[in-house]
Structure 1
Amino acid sequence: MLMNPLILDLLLAGSGGAVGAGVLTLLSRKKVSEYRGRIAGLEAEARAAMQQLAAQDEEAVHLARGRLPALIYALQHGGDLASVSGPRHRQLAETNTGLAHELVLQQVNDLASTAAEQAEQAARSAVRAVTSSMQALVNELQAANTHLLDREHDATLLGLVQPIDHAASQLARRLQILGVLVGMWPGRQRDDASLLDTVRGGVSRIRDFSRVRVPHESPYYVAGRYVEPLVLAVAELLDNAARHSAPTTPVEVSFLQAHNGVSIAIHDAGPGLRPEAREEAARRLSGQHPVRLTELRHPPSFGHLGVGALADRYGFRAMVDEEHSVHGGVRATLFVPSALLASPPAAASSPPLHSEHTPSPAPLPAEPTTPVPEAPTWAPHPQEYPAQQQYPVEEKDGLILPVRRRRSSAHEPRHSRPATETPSPDSGTALAAFIHATQSARAPEEESPS
Structure 2
Amino acid sequence: MTPLIQDALVWAPTGGMIAVGALALQYRKKAAEHCCRDGMSEAQAADTEQRVAARDEEAQHLAESRLPALVHALQHGTGDIYTAGGLLHPQLASTVTGRAYLSVLEQVSALTTQASEQAEGAARAAVQAVTRSVQALVHEQQTAITHLLATEYDERLLELVQPIDHTASQLARRLQILGVLTGMWPGRQREDAPLLETVRGGMSRIRDFHRVQVPNESAHYVAGRYVEPVVLAVAELLDNAARHSAPSTPVEVSFLEAHHGISIQIHDAGPGMRPEVREEAARRLSGQHPVRLTELRTPPSFGHLGIGALAAQYGFRAAVDEEHSVHGGVRAVLYLPRELLAAAPPAEGHEQACPEAVRSDTRGPARNALPA
TM range (shorter): 0.7 to 0.9
Structure 1 residue 121 displacement after superposition:
0.8
Cα deviations by residue, 1:245-285 (Å, 9 ceiling, x for unpaired): 12221111110000011000111112222222222111111
Q: Does 2:323 align with 1:309?
A: no
Partner of 1:364: none
Aligned counterparts of 2:125 and 2:161: Cα–Cα separation in 1: 34
Contact 1:197 1:353 in 2 (8 A): no
Q: Helix, strand or coil for the counterpart of 1:83?
A: coil
CA distance in 2, matches of 1:37, 1:125: 66
Paired residue type of 2:57: E
C-alpha distance in 2, partners of 1:174/1:46? 71
Structure 1 SS opposite 2:310: helix
> What's the counterpart of residue 202 of structure 1?
202
**AA of the residue aligned to 1:260:** H
Residue in 2 that maps onto 1:220:
220
Q: How does 1:418-437 map to 2 (within 5 A)?
A: none
**Partner Cα distance (1:326, 1:172) in 2:** 32
Q: Which amino acid aligns with 2:69?
A: A
1:54 matched to which residue of 2? 53
Distance 1:88 1:270 in 2: 52
What amino acid does structure 2 have at the position aligned with 1:305?
L
Decide which moves more: 203-212 or 75-84: 75-84
In the other structure, the counterpart of 1:160 is 160
What corresponds to 1:140 in structure 2? 140
CA distance in 1, matches of 2:200, 2:356: 10
* 8 Å Cα contact 1:124-1:293 kept in structure 2: yes
Match runs of 1:161-310 below 5 Å = 161-310=161-310
Mark the CA change 1:319 to 1:217 in structure 2 (over 3 Å): closer, same or farther: same
What letter matches 2:107 in structure 1?
Q
1 CA distance for matches of 2:81 and 2:356?
51
Question: Aligned runs of 1:18-29 on 2, under 5 Å?
Answer: none
Q: CA deviation at 1:37?
A: 11
| 1:118 equivalent in alignment to 2:102 | no
Residue equivalent to 1:384 = 368
Question: Offset at 1:168?
Answer: 0.4
Contact 2:192 2:354 survives alignment (8 Å): no
Does the CA-based 8 Å contact 1:318-1:332 persist in structure 2?
yes
Gapped runs of 5+ residues in structure 1?
A: 1-33, 362-371, 373-378, 387-450
**CA 353–267 in structure 1, closer or farther in 2 if over 3 Å, else same:** farther
1:10-38 per-position Cα deviation (integer Å, ceiling 9, x unaligned): xxxxxxxxxxxxxxxxxxxxxxxx98995
Q: Match for residue 72 of structure 2?
A: 73
* DSSP 3-state at the match of 2:281: helix
Displacement, 1:294?
0.9
Paired residue type of 1:384: N
Shift of 1:188: 1.2
Distance in 2 (CA, whole Å) between partners of 1:35 and 1:106 is 44
The answer on whether the counterparts of 1:354 and 1:384 sit within 8 Å (CA) in structure 2 is no
Kept in 1, the 8 Å contact 2:360–2:367? The answer is: no
Deviation (angstroms), 1:382: 2.2
For residues 218 and 41 of structure 1, do their structure 2 counterparts lie closer, same or farther at Cα, with a shift above 3 Å needed? same
Deviations 1:195-243, CA, capped at 9 Å, x for gaps: 1000000000001111111111111111111111100000011111111
Whole-angstrom distance in 1 between the partners of 2:138 and 2:165 = 10
Aligned length: 335
| Counterpart position of 1:325 | 325
Q: Structure 1-normalised TM-score? A: 0.70
- The answer to whether the Cα contact below 8 Å between 1:320 and 1:330 also exists between their aligned partners in 2 is yes
Query: How far apart, in 2, do the equivalents of 1:210 and 1:267 lie?
Result: 15
- Partner of residue 99, structure 2: 99
| TM-align CA RMSD | 2.5
Shift of 1:380: 6.3
Q: Following superposition of structure 1 onto structure 2, how do residues 407-422 of structure 1 map, counting pairs within 5 Å?
A: none
CA separation of 1:143 and 1:151: change in aligned 2, threshold 3 A: same
State the AA in 1 paired with 2:90.
Answer: R
More helix by share: 2
Structure 2's unaligned 5+ residue stretches are 1-31
Give the AA of the match of 1:335.
Y
